[in-house]
């Protein structure tokens, strides 16, 4: 490795010789003096070269630099309050052009589609770099929380012999002499960890949905953050875990990146107070109706506008960015959700909304095999199709529950980004498979 100094470490370094490596962000090629802004993964620094009256091969190199070119630069670091960019600059001794770059195809047209075509160039923007550092910190805090609370990390297969959630939105792939399906969620196999005696598990992994929609919140491949735990009394225990986890994640993000997020993205990160507000779905409908909105879906599920308006109400009433919508009707929940003991039309389940959008679904699961079979039949599923899944329950499963949460949705809503495309490393949608 070269003896390079990261740009972020220059402020603390003393004046004198230094090497910085990165790519050319801008060149100001003036008559008397040349300026280059060099960027690396940690920030930007100004390079300066006063032109010489005589032959000046270094000036020719600077003049020839194209934006995006990777260079390795040696020079003299000098702290100088007058320099706007960070109060320091590097007077260049030598520039090695490590890898020249063609002119950027997204310099002129920066529409989202064009930027996704050239995602590796788009990701060089400091805002994008920040988004992925925030995501790293967030996930690290979640993992730390889980590990400290006795959860085991699992990796369930993504190649499946049958549907993992429902028959809708299923990708089918050739699998030797037969067919396989891409996992829509780790649902069945994270539940398997309960009869396996693991107690508490989590997984962070891709999930696939053949969803043809082009909304700002849907992808055909997304990272699903999942947890499942045994010995719960109800979905209330799952929500309690879920909110503590989010508090841990958002505290870490605020502490580490709060100031930078405010400067670069103009967003203030607030750590939510626990417990988060909880509103039963039927109550949510009444609240929306009293505010002049009738949810148009015949099945009673909240539509995006209903979610947005409910979050607006929660922000006004409780000053909160999160809300658990609980007790979904049986008709709009999968067969494996446990129903209320005293009202089988309702389930022990919830959706979590964050700034107006659903980020998660959670529930207590039905663990009594006869009840589970009956509920499957109710939904038109033949117990035969669910063979291995139902077997779990024949050998003893404690009461359990968990949630699945879309990672990109959380980051999008946290950082007030317009689309999941902005916060996904490489977005996958109905018409995007490259790069
Ligand atoms: P659900 O289908 O609601 O629940 O998915 C859970 C969460 O995953 C995210 N998500 C998506 N993100 C981007 N693009 C998509 N196409 C997409 N589909 C879903 C959302 C959503 O809230 N097995 C259950 C969870 C559980 O009960 O544990 C499930 O998958 O943020």
The answer, yes or no, to whether any atom of ligand 1 lies below 6 A from the CB of 249, is no
Residue 291's CB is within 10 A of a number of other CB atoms, namely 12
CA distance 366 to 335: 8
Q: Give the mean pLDDT of 65-77.
A: 97
Whether 164 has a pLDDT exceeding 80, the answer reads: no
DSSP line for 95-126: EEEEE--PPPTTTT---HHHHHHTHHHHTTSH
Omega prior to 435 cis, within 30 of 0:
yes
pLDDT per residue as tens digits for the range 376-391: 999 988 877 788 899 9
According to DSSP, the residues that pair with 181 across neighbouring strands are: 160, 172
**119-422 is classed in which CATH architecture?**
2-Layer Sandwich (3.30)
The answer, yes or no, to whether any atom of ligand 1 lies below 6 A from the CB of 203, is no
**CB 22, CB 71: distance < 8 Å:** yes
Residues of the chain with CATH 3.30.930.10: 119-422
Rg of the chain in Å (alpha carbons)? 27
pLDDT per residue as tens digits for the range 8-43: 999 999 999 999 999 999 999 999 999 999 999 999
Residue nearest to atom 13 of ligand 1 (CA): 218
The answer, yes or no, to whether any atom of ligand 1 lies below 6 A from the CB of 218, is yes
Q: Which one of 2.40.50.140, 2.40.128.90, 3.40.50.300, 2.60.40.10 gives the CATH number of domain 7-99?
A: 2.40.50.140
pLDDT per residue as tens digits for the range 324-366: 999 999 999 999 999 999 999 999 999 999 999 999 999 999 9
Residues of the chain with CATH 2.40.50.140: 7-99
Predicted confidence band at 394 (pLDDT cuts at 50, 70, 90)? very high
The answer, yes or no, to whether any atom of ligand 1 lies below 6 A from the CB of 69, is no
CA distance 158 to 180: 10
pLDDT per residue as tens digits for the range 299-332: 999 999 999 999 999 999 999 999 999 999 999 9
Give the mutation target among 165, 185, 323 for probing the ligand 1 site: most ligand atoms within 8 A of CB: 185
Helix pair angle (304-318, 281-290), 10° resolution:
80
Residue nearest to atom 12 of ligand 1 (CA): 406
Which strand (E) or helix (H) includes residue 151? none
Strand order in the sheet with 172-175: 159-160, 178-182, 172-175
pLDDT per residue as tens digits for the range 95-154: 999 999 999 999 888 899 999 999 999 999 999 999 999 999 999 999 999 999 999 999
The answer, yes or no, to whether any atom of ligand 1 lies below 6 A from the CB of 165, is yes
pLDDT per residue as tens digits for the range 166-215: 778 999 999 999 999 999 999 999 999 999 999 999 999 999 999 999 99
Residue 298's CB is within 10 A of a number of other CB atoms, namely 6
pTM summary value: 0.96
Residue 399's CB is within 10 A of a number of other CB atoms, namely 19
């Amino acid at each position: 490795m070269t003896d390079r100094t990261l740009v972020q470490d220059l402020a603390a370094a003393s004046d004198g010789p230094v090497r910085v490596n990165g790519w050319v962000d801008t060149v100001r090629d003036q008559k008397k003096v040349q300026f280059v802004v060099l960027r690396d993964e940690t920030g930007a620094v100004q390079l300066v070269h006063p032109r010489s009256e005589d032959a000046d091969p270094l000036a020719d190199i600077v003049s020839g630099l194209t934006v995006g070119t990777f260079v390795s630069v040696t020079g003299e670091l000098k702290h100088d309050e007058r320099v706007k960019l960070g109060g320091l600059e590097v007077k260049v001794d030598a520039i090695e052009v490590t890898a020249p770059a063609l002119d950027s195809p997204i310099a002129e047209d920066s529409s989202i589609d064009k930027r996704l075509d050239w995602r590796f160039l788009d990701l060089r923007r400091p805002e994008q770099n920040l988004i992925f550092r925030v995501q790293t910190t967030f996930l690290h805090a979640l993992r730390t929380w889980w590990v400290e609370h006795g959860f085991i990390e699992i990796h369930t297969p993504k190649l499946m012999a049958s549907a993992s959630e429902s028959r809708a939105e299923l990708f089918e792939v050739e699998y030797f002499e037969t067919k396989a399906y891409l996992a829509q969620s780790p649902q069945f196999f994270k539940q398997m960890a309960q009869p396996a005696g693991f107690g508490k598990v989590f997984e962070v992994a891709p999930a696939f949905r053949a969803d043809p929609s082009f909304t700002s919140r849907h992808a055909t491949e997304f990272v699903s953050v999942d947890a499942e735990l045994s010995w719960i009394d109800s979905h209330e225990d799952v929500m309690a875990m879920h909110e503590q986890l989010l508090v841990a994640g958002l505290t870490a993000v605020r502490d580490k990146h709060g100031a930078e997020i405010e400067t670069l993205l103009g967003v203030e990160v607030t750590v939510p107070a626990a417990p988060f507000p909880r509103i039963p779905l039927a109550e949510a409908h009444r609240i929306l109706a009293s505010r002049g909105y009738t949810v148009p879906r015949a099945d009673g599920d909240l539509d995006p506008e209903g979610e947005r308006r409910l979050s607006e109400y929660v922000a006004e009433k409780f000053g909160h960015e999160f809300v658990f919508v609980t007790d979904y009707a049986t008709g709009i929940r999968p067969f494996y959700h446990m129903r209320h003991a005293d009202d089988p039309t309702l389930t022990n389940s919830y959706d979590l909304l964050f700034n107006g959008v659903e980020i998660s679904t959670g529930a207590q699961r039905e663990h009594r095999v006869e009840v589970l079979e009956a509920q499957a039949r109710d939904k038109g599923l033949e117990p035969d199709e669910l063979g291995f899944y139902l077997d779990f329950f024949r050998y003893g499963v404690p009461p359990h529950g968990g949630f699945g949460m879309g990672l990109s949705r959380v980051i999008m809503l946290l950082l007030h980004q317009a689309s999941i495309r902005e916060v996904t490393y490489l977005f996958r949608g109905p018409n995007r498979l490259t790069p």
